[in-house]
Each structure stands twice: as C-alpha cells, then as structure tokens.
Structure 1
Amino acid sequence: MKHFPIFLAVENRRILLSGGGDAALAKLRLLLKTEARIEVFATNPAPEIMAWAADARLALHHRPLSADDLPGAVLVYAADEDDAEDARIKQLADTADILVNVVDNLADSAFITPAIVDRDPVTVAIGTEGAAPVLARAIKRDLEEKLPVTLGTLARIGKSFRGAVEALPFGRKRRDFWAEYYFDKGPKALADGGAAGVQAGLRKLLVDHLTAQDRDGHVALVGAGPGDPELLTLKARKALDEADVIIHDRLVAPEILELARREATLLDVGKQGFGRHTPQNEIARLMVEHARQGLQVVRLKSGDPVIYGRLDEEIDALEAAGIGWSIVPGITSASAAAVGIGQSLTRRGRNSALRVLTGHDTEGFAEQDWAALARPGTVAAIYMAKKGARFLQGRLLMHGAPAATPVTIVENASRPDQRIVDSTLATLASDLDTANLSGPAILLYGLSPRAAEARLPELQELANAP
C-alpha cells in the first residue's frame, strides 16, 4: 500500500486550487461537497466557476496562485493542465510543506483523490493508487446501486443519538443496538413514519436494549473453505462479521482473516504436523473461557469442520460447559482440489463411491481397508497424506494396487499459489520429494488432471510390459 487512506477534517479549512478549465471543474465538483473554504486561482475561469463564485460557494481570484496565498491552507490542487504551471504550483506547495495534488500526475502528487460514493455523512472512498481508474469507477457504480439513498438520513439521525446510546456498555451491547437500528428498525421506521418516526423508534429501541438481558455467549464452529475467500459461504461471512473472538487454525488463509472486524480478537491455535502444536484441551478452554464472558466466538477451521476437524471433541467440551454452539459447513479441500484438476470425484462407469480418508491420526499413520482401496476404479480423497505418502504407497502396492494407478497431489487448493503434482502410485513418494511441497495438500487417489488423463492407457501398458 503506497497510499494510506484517511478522512481529512476540512470543515472551515482552506483548500486552494490553481486552474480554471475542465480539470479544475472535475475536482471542484467533488470539493464543493465538503464544508471547506475553497479558493480558486485562475486568470480565465470557466463560466461554472464564475457562477459558483457568484453564489459564494467558493472564492475566486483572477490571478495566478502565489507563495503568499499558501499560509493556513490544508491542501493544494494544481489543475492548470499546463506542465510548467503545475510544476510551479507543486514547488510552492512543497516549499510551504503543504500536501499537493497535481491532476493526472500521480508521480508528482503527495496525495490522490479517490472515487467517492456520497451518502453524507456516510462516505465510501475507492482508490487504486492510479493503476486502474476505470475499475474504481466500476466499483463506485456498483456501490451506488447497492447503498440506498436513505442511508445518509439514517446516519445523520443516528449521529445525533450517539450521546444517548453511551448509556449502553461499550462493545457488544452498543454494536447490537446499532446493528438493529441500521439493518432493521431504522429503515422500517423511515419508510413508515419519516424522520420523526425514526427518532421515536430510536428512543424505544434504546429502552429495549437497556432493559434486555445480556446476550449469552455462543460458539460458531465455522468452515473457512479451502482458502479462496470467494468460496466462503454467506453464513460464514456473517459469523465472522459478528464475532468478538476468532479462534483459527494455521491453515486458514490470511485473506479470510482479513474479513474479520478490526476490533475482533484473533487467536492462532494452529497445529502443524511434526511441528508447533496447540493441544486440543487448550483450544476447548479458550472457547469456553471467552463464551462464558458473553462473547460471540467463531472457531474457524480450514475446509469443512465436519471432515477431520475434531468437531465432536469440541462440541463435547462446549456442551459439558453449557455453552451454546452452531455449525457452519464449508467447502472441503477435496472438492476444491477436484475442481483444480478438472475432474469429478464420482463418474458413471468409473466409480460409484468416493472414499474420504486421513493419512494419519492421533496414533500415527492411519491403517485403512487396503484391499478395498487397491481395487481398480477406486477413487479416494486422502487428507494429511504428505508425510505418510511412502507408507500409503507401500501398503497399496502390497495389496495389489496397479503401479500405474494415477495419483494427483494438490497443494493450496483454490488459492493463487495452487500447485498440482501429477503422479502415479509407483512414483508417488519420489515425486513428492522432488516437488518439495510446503503448503497444505490433499492426495486424490485414482484421479489424474484432465489434461493428463489421455495418457493413462499408455502408462498402464508400460506398467504391464514384461
């Protein structure tokens, strides 16, 4: 991030603009939305600028900007559309240590003006650091469509009521009040009774929240999916938005943690094979401890919590402590990995069943029904299999699985750094050693990437050759 976004207080402060043409007009249409004191310096101002000056919306000086004009200014815009004059204005502003924006010149600008969605006092600023103005305008258009024009009215009324709401304890109680106002009671009151109805509704809502019993603590066991934030369910997004505390696994993608509220407490309880390890009883203790404080807790697990997520142990701990819980399923990595190689996990004529296995459990490498797995046409999604790949390979070959059986390993399924290792049972261990995978990986036994599937008969023929 090369430009740090802030909202600058400009009420009754001077903003200077040099220029009187189209570039100046574009900036002034935005600046005039503020409560700043706008001063324009132009020898030949456009008629619109003359009209704004006549209406006392800005002060117009029919001359170039000089160094004597700068003291007390908070921002300067160079919008003369003349390289030499813009450079002169920049030099003046730099010397006076005032932030300057040279219109359409990112390199010489100390700040940039974002695209803005105006629902005063709600303001959404969109910036691309000058890289993609068209994209910023598209985002602005989408937000304009989604944010109702009444949002500003609700925000202005809500702002006038903030002092009264301080009677509620800081934190969850206030957030619950404002959430109910903005997303439920406020819009309904505005539609039914206008601004007066909103005022009356706010007073009643505050009384309701002051007299309501404290909300019980709760733990939501949430699936974060395989890593792509766009694969997160709407229910999971809502849980993250409401969470006071998020207890997350090591494999949860950083992009998903970024979706949490900034005020939320994030606790990393990641477990790493043959590495750092948070005991399961410690995870249970943290969930119970925070929920007993009346907090909304999200236990965030990579993939789907109902698949190798030790879900039952955590539910047992919550029920033993009398803590309410819910489950939000997620997309499991087996599905994301299959998508990554362009294959279906089940296909008519190939396999009518899918086996979901783990490469190791609490006792070490996991034993399976190897004879059943070794039968031709078997497809299995094997979780946590990197470390046990050589063990799996040996057991399957020992039980008669063809050496040419396709095996695909997908690392970081669905993420930008996804890697696919196309292998066979015969070369599985050596291929994994060569690939040197460091991220979470799932092994798809019996499946090849779609592009490689065409060469399977050739591989099988070689494997059966004398």
Structure 2
Amino acid sequence: MRHFPVFLDTRGKSVVVSGAGETAVAKLRLLMRTEARIAVHGAEPAEEVVRWAAEGRIALTEAPLAEVGGDARLVYAANADPVEDARVAKLGREAGVLVNIVDDLTSDFITPAIVDRDPVTVAIGTEGAAPVLARKIKAEVEELLPSSLGLLARIGQSFRARVEALDSRARRAFWTRFYFERGPRAVAAGSEAVSETLETMLTEGVAATKGFVHLIGAGPGDPELLTMKARRLLHEADVVIHDRLVPAEILELARREARVIEVGKIAYGPSWKQEDINALLVREAGAGATVARLKGGDAVLFGRLDEEIEALEAAGIGYAIVPGITSASAAAATIGQSLTRRGRNASLRFLTAHDMNGFADHDWRDLAKPGATAAIYMGVKAAAFIRGRLLMHGAATATPVTCVENASRPDQRVIATTLIDLPEALAEACPTGPVMILLGLEPRAALAAAELNEFKEAL
C-alpha cells in the first residue's frame, strides 16, 4: 500500500486550489462538501467557479497563486499546465503543506473516489492505477447504501448512549433493524418519524432482539448473481444455514463472526432430514439469532420452502423470503437462449425428477408436442425415464436437449444432445455438479449453424 488512507479534519482550515478552469471544477465540487474554507486562484475562471464565488461558497482571486497561507491544509495544483503546476507544488511544499497535482502520481496525496452519506463516508482508491475501476466500485457501493443512511446515522447518534445498555448481540440486532429495515421506512415520513421509530424500538425490550429467519435464494452459484438484498442480509446474519450446493465464494460474504452450518442433501446419499433442518432454524432463531437460510437457486422453486415456513410459523418466529435467480434462467443464459419465444412456446414447465412418484404423473403427452419447452431439475438419474415417457407419447427423437452442469460457475459445462441420445450423453459426460436439463432448447450457436446448413441445402 503506497497511499495510506486517512480522513483529514478540514473544519476551520483552508484548502488552496490553484487553477479556476475545467480541471479545477471537478475537484471543487468535491471540496465544497467539506467544512474547509476554499481559496481559488486563477485567471479566466470557469462559469461555475464564478457562480460559486458569488454564492459565497469559495473565495476567488482572479490571479495566479502567489503564496500559501499558514492555515492551509491542502494545496491542489489544477492549472492543466505542467510548468505552472510545478511552481505551485513548490510553493506548497516550501510552506509545509501537502500538495496534489491533478492526475500526477508524484503528488503527496491522491483524492479517492468518494461515496458521501454524510456523516458516513466511503473512500475508494486504486493507487491511481485504475480510475475506471474505482468509479465502478463507487457506483456499486452507492447502490448498496440507502440515500437515507446519513440522516439515519445523525439521528441514531443521539440515541447511541441509550442503546449501549443492551448486550452486544442485542445492540447489533437493534442497529441492523434500524438502519436497514425500520429506519428507511420511517424516513419518508420525515426526521420526526425516525426519532419516534427509535423510541418505539427502545421500548420493545426483548422483542427488539427476537430472532428472525431470512429464507434466501442464493442463485445458481455465481456470487455476482446474488441480489443486493441477499448479499446484505447474508453479511448481517448471526447464523448462516446453507445447502450443500451453495459455493464457498458466497459463504465468504458472511460476517467473520457468523456461525456457518451446512445442512446438505445428497441425492441417494446421506442427508440432513428436513425435520432436523426445521428444528435447527427454530432453535437458532428462538435463541435470538438473525438467521440467513441459503437455498441454491430461487428459494421458492423446489426448495421445500413451505415446510420450513410452517415450522417457523408454528414456533411464532418471524421470517421473510428473498427470491433468487433460478438455475433454469442461468442455464438458458449460458446457452444464449430464452426460455420462452413467440411462435415456439407460449408456456414453460418447471419439473423436478427428485420425487419420481410425482414426476411420473406429469402430462407427458403435452411435453412431447413440437416446440414444448421444459426445465428439468435433478434429472440426471431419470434421463432414461424422461426419454422413454416422451417417446412413448410421440416426441421426435431429434428433439433438442441441452444439459448445463454448474450453470453460471467457472466450471460450467454444456452438454448438447437430442432426446434419443440423452441418457448416453449424460453417462459419457459423467457430471458431478448440479445439472439443469433444458428440453426443447439447443445452444444458440448450434441453432445458428443448423439454420445456415438448411439455407445452403435449399440453394
């Protein structure tokens, strides 16, 4: 780390900016958010600089910088002229003041990208190596932090001493609920409503620290496909209870202090019983913990969600459902296809082969029709059964089928085949990760090649 990040107190001090043109304008927009006195020196000032001076936000001297005063904390050389910037830098350093020459890494300090939620401030730096990356990170952080966070922080500060009487877990739960749940909802009604919300939360006593379960769809595996809400709740949880297929990259987003518990289910192998998972959720939340229950894909699709909800409701424990990106969507995106297409299929079936009794009862005749499309979860071991049922009901042997293993992950694999060859193709590929079977779809590249061949044959 070449540049050490610090937050400099500018209250009652001066910041000197040499240059009053466009180069200086961007720095001034940022500096005017501080409590510093801003002195700008430069001939032919930009229109914005003149306006800011007229509004009393800066002090403008329409002449080159002659000296650096003793109360100056920082000097910015923003003349867009290497000779003049070097002269100004010399003046600043002789006065013992830190100097920044705009876009020059020989500066004494650099100005980071800043997310401003005053009094909450996030500074992002890349040692000057990748300003574009810093801007991207800033945009992502801006999305994560509610615009109301600054107001909430200022109001919350006045209540801090009263909340300190709670134990550490209760304090964390209190502030989490205030800053990210109840506080933002109160902001719309004004600052008085926010204070009232805090007073109400303080009088709730034990109820304010009652456990809660977030039933979260963790997506198909790529951490970047987590929703922003899922990512935030995962970081705030005291306990993370997850399926076997939730990857380590997602679990690493949990707080370092959080307990992480795997409740894996392995097809045809040793697994946690659903009733034991239900009991674990009730036990942890009943003890006051905020629980993140991570389920692969979308929690509302083939995740046995209702059984866990019923157990929580029976125990009087609050819960919320956070939907995620289902593996079917990720698999279709991988092969460049949509799951529905005008003129091809107006409906889409989501099937799971995990329960063979229910699986056998599907309307196979309808699925065998030309253009029918289905996303089949957990269907590797049922591939021969799928083929037999569809062929029995008139499906074409050449019906395209695409199997996507580990959709969205770095080790994802696409197995493109036809209905007649489906079991053999899967046996040859020998997948070890979760597989999504897309009936009626083939990779866009393969489809384009086939259409090209048909066109050539027609000629």
TM class by shorter-chain length? 0.5 to 0.7
The amino acid of 1:30's aligned partner reads: L
| 3-state SS of 1:337 partner | helix
| 3-state SS of 2:7 partner | coil
Q: Take 2:300 and 2:152, find their aligned partners in 1: how far apart are those partners? A: 41
Q: Take 1:186 and 1:354, find their aligned partners in 2: how far apart are those partners? A: 43
Q: Take 2:81 and 2:269, find their aligned partners in 1: how far apart are those partners? A: 61
Would the alpha carbon gap of residues 249 and 87 (structure 1) be closer, same or farther in structure 2, given more than 3 Å must change?
A: farther
Q: Take 1:225 and 1:181, find their aligned partners in 2: how far apart are those partners? A: 27
Residue 93 of structure 1 contacts residue 100 of structure 1 at CA under 8 Å; is this kept in 2?
A: yes
The amino acid of 2:80's aligned partner reads: E
The residue correspondences of 1:377-416 to structure 2 (distance < 5 A) are: 377=370, 379-385=373-379, 388=381, 403-413=397-407
C-alpha distance after superposition, 1:265-294 (max 9, x if no partner): 362627486999873476445423320122
Residue 222 of structure 1 contacts residue 329 of structure 1 at CA under 8 Å; is this kept in 2?
A: yes
Would the alpha carbon gap of residues 211 and 434 (structure 1) be closer, same or farther in structure 2, given more than 3 Å must change?
A: closer
Partner residue of 1:114?
A: 113
Would the alpha carbon gap of residues 311 and 187 (structure 1) be closer, same or farther in structure 2, given more than 3 Å must change?
A: closer
Residue 285 of structure 2 contacts residue 291 of structure 2 at CA under 8 Å; is this kept in 1?
A: yes
Aligned equivalent of 2:349, options 354, 370, 377: 354
Would the alpha carbon gap of residues 349 and 63 (structure 1) be closer, same or farther in structure 2, given more than 3 Å must change?
A: closer
Residue 346 of structure 1 contacts residue 353 of structure 1 at CA under 8 Å; is this kept in 2?
A: no
Partner residue of 1:166?
A: 164
Partner residue of 2:78?
A: 79
The residue correspondences of 1:44-59 to structure 2 (distance < 5 A) are: none
| 3-state SS of 2:184 partner | helix
Q: Take 2:72 and 2:269, find their aligned partners in 1: how far apart are those partners? A: 55
Deviation at 1:301, TM superposition (A): 1.0
Does structure 1 residue 219 correspond to structure 2 residue 217?
Answer: no
Partner residue of 1:334?
A: 328
Partner residue of 1:33?
A: 33
Deviation at 1:383, TM superposition (A): 1.8
| 3-state SS of 2:132 partner | coil
Partner residue of 2:241?
A: 247
Q: Which moved more, 1:306-315 or 1:233-242?
A: 233-242
Deviation at 1:160, TM superposition (A): 3.4
| 3-state SS of 1:170 partner | helix
The residue correspondences of 1:293-304 to structure 2 (distance < 5 A) are: 293-304=287-298
Would the alpha carbon gap of residues 326 and 186 (structure 1) be closer, same or farther in structure 2, given more than 3 Å must change?
A: closer
Partner residue of 1:131?
A: 132
Deviation at 1:165, TM superposition (A): 3.9
* Paired residue total: 433
The residue correspondences of 1:55-454 to structure 2 (distance < 5 A) are: 62-63=65-66, 77-83=76-82, 86=85, 101-105=100-104, 111-114=110-113, 117=116, 120-123=118-121, 129-131=130-132, 147=147, 155-168=153-166, 169-177=170-178, 182-185=183-186, 187-190=188-191, 202=195, 205-206=198-199, 209-215=202-208, 216-226=210-220, 243-252=237-246, 265=258, 267=260, 269=262, 271=264, 279-280=272-273, 283-284=277-278, 286-311=280-305, 314-315=308-309, 318=312, 323-325=317-319, 327-338=321-332, 341-344=336-339, 354=349, 356-358=351-353, 372=364, 377=370, 379-385=373-379, 388=381, 403-413=397-407, 420-428=414-422, 440-449=434-443, 452-453=446-447
- Structure 2 unaligned regions, length at least 5: 454-459
The amino acid of 1:356's aligned partner reads: L
Q: Take 2:433 and 2:376, find their aligned partners in 1: how far apart are those partners? A: 15
Would the alpha carbon gap of residues 255 and 95 (structure 1) be closer, same or farther in structure 2, given more than 3 Å must change?
A: farther
Q: Take 1:294 and 1:156, find their aligned partners in 2: how far apart are those partners? A: 27
Q: Take 2:389 and 2:93, find their aligned partners in 1: how far apart are those partners? A: 72
Residue 303 of structure 1 contacts residue 333 of structure 1 at CA under 8 Å; is this kept in 2?
A: yes
Q: Take 1:108 and 1:438, find their aligned partners in 2: how far apart are those partners? A: 54
Q: Take 2:443 and 2:180, find their aligned partners in 1: how far apart are those partners? A: 47
Identity %: 41
Q: Take 2:118 and 2:243, find their aligned partners in 1: how far apart are those partners? A: 40
Partner residue of 2:457?
A: none
The amino acid of 1:206's aligned partner reads: E
Deviation at 1:448, TM superposition (A): 2.6
Residue 340 of structure 2 contacts residue 347 of structure 2 at CA under 8 Å; is this kept in 1?
A: no
| 3-state SS of 1:214 partner | helix
Q: Take 1:453 and 1:279, find their aligned partners in 2: how far apart are those partners? A: 42
Name the Cα RMSD after superposition.
6.0
Residue 43 of structure 1 contacts residue 64 of structure 1 at CA under 8 Å; is this kept in 2?
A: no
| 3-state SS of 2:171 partner | coil
The amino acid of 2:7's aligned partner reads: L
Q: Take 1:222 and 1:137, find their aligned partners in 2: how far apart are those partners? A: 26
Q: Take 2:81 and 2:285, find their aligned partners in 1: how far apart are those partners? A: 62
Residue 346 of structure 1 contacts residue 354 of structure 1 at CA under 8 Å; is this kept in 2?
A: no
Q: Take 1:457 and 1:380, find their aligned partners in 2: how far apart are those partners? A: 22
Q: Take 2:350 and 2:120, find their aligned partners in 1: how far apart are those partners? A: 52
* TM-score, normalised via structure 2 length: 0.64
Residue 127 of structure 1 contacts residue 136 of structure 1 at CA under 8 Å; is this kept in 2?
A: no
The amino acid of 1:163's aligned partner reads: A
C-alpha distance after superposition, 1:65-101 (max 9, x if no partner): 7xxx99x987554434233565688899999999764
Would the alpha carbon gap of residues 233 and 353 (structure 1) be closer, same or farther in structure 2, given more than 3 Å must change?
A: same
The amino acid of 1:113's aligned partner reads: P
| 3-state SS of 2:216 partner | strand
